[in-house]
């Protein structure tokens, strides 16, 4: 199935139903392929989560960027929210309570 961005916006339920039936939905924008929508197999998603211990831990992508920057530059992280970073063993964390 092929759908435009407008089709996706106006007929979201129908487009998602097609993907749920196992159809491969190609989303186009101005005649160019922008994305492909397919049904996600739960077992495949779960296997990915089990392989990657960080999967789903980042409530905010900004937290990931902050942690990566501190690790890359060899810095300790000063934070009041240590539970977002505590699982990263290599990251030095200094907790403060305002």
- Ordered by where they begin, the domains of the chain are 2-39 (3.40.1620), 43-95 (no CATH)
Average pLDDT over residues 36-51: 62
- Checking if the pLDDT of 17 tops 70, the result is yes
Burial 9-31 (b: 16+ CB within 10 A, else e): eeeeeebeebbeeeeebebbeee
- Checking if the pLDDT of 31 tops 80, the result is yes
pLDDT value at residue 10 = 92
Average pLDDT over residues 77-81: 83
Phi, psi values for residue 47, rounded to 5°: -60, -40
Who wins on pLDDT, 41 or 68?
A: 68
Whether the full predicted model's pTM is greater than 0.85, yes or no, is no
């Amino acid at each position: 199935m092929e759908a435009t961005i407008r089709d996706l916006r106006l007929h979201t339920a129908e487009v998602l139903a097609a993907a749920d039936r196992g159809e491969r939905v190609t989303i186009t924008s101005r005649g160019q392929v922008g994305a492909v929508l397919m049904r996600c197999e739960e077992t495949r998603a779960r296997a990915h989560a089990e392989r990657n211990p960080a999967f789903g831990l980042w409530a905010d992508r900004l937290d990931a960027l902050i942690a990566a920057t501190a690790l890359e530059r060899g810095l300790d992280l000063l934070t009041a929210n240590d539970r977002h970073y505590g699982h990263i063993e290599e990251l030095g964390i200094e907790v403060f309570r305002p």
